[in-house]
Structures are given as structure tokens and as C-alpha cells.
Amino acid sequence: MKVGDALAPIERTITQADMVAYAGATWDWHRLHYDAAYAAEARCPGPVVDGHMLCALMAEPLLDHLGPKSFATTLAFRLRAMVLAGDTVRVEGEVADVTGEAIGVTQRVMVGDRIAADGTATVRL
């Protein structure tokens, strides 16, 4: 593993059912994430994907790439654009730092050619 190595990207279309399942798993029932009428009142084009769901998607390729004995010690992310029900996201990233038994990674969640979220992680091997 060296600086610049790419993580295997993942791509997912986030459905309304995925969003409701995530809400149930996290007990986050804010109407913005499932109620189209409420989202319209808030001037959003549709139900908005929970930002923490995007962070969870960032963890998946990170841990898949580094294996079952890896452990994420830090995850940080910033939301940059809305992701809506039905959007297809692509999570990509690369190794940014290698120090002893820890690896630093930078990642992005893309919707088409725009960055919806970005972040960093430190993983202990």
C-alpha cells in the first residue's frame, strides 16, 4: 500500500426504500428524508438522502479494500451538495498517507461529475 493507490470504487443508486431502511436503522425519521410533500415545502426537489448514509457508503469501500482486520479509527466528512432519492452515487478514494500501521485515505461521493460529499479516514491495519 502506497500513497496514491486508488480504492476500488463502489456505485449505488439510492432508492426511497434504501432511505427508509436507513432511517429505521438509525432512528432518524426526519420527514425531509422520506416525505416528498414535506421536501417540496422546504423547496427541495425531492426527499434528501441523510448525510450520514453517505458517510456509511464511504466506509464500505474503505474497509472492503483494506480487509477484515482493518479498523477505521477516524472518519470525517463534509456535505457539499444534496443527494436525492433515485440518484446514483459513486464513492472513490485514494491512499493519502501511510504511517506505520495506519493508512490515511481521502474520499469523494460523486453524483455525476459533482462532488456531493468528501472526507478523510484513518485506518489501523
Spell out the domain ranges in the chain.
10-15+50-124
Distance between start and end Cα atoms, the chain: 11
Contact 18, 34 (CB under 8 A): no
- The whole model's pTM is what? 0.89
pLDDT of the residue at 45: 94
Low-confidence ranges of the chain (pLDDT < 50): none
pLDDT of the residue at 10: 96
What residues form DSSP beta bridges with 97? 104
Q: Which CATH superfamily is domain 10-15+50-124 in?
A: Hotdog Thioesterase (3.10.129.10)
pLDDT in tens, 7-41: 999 999 999 999 999 988 999 889 999 899 999 99
Total count of residues recorded for the chain: 125
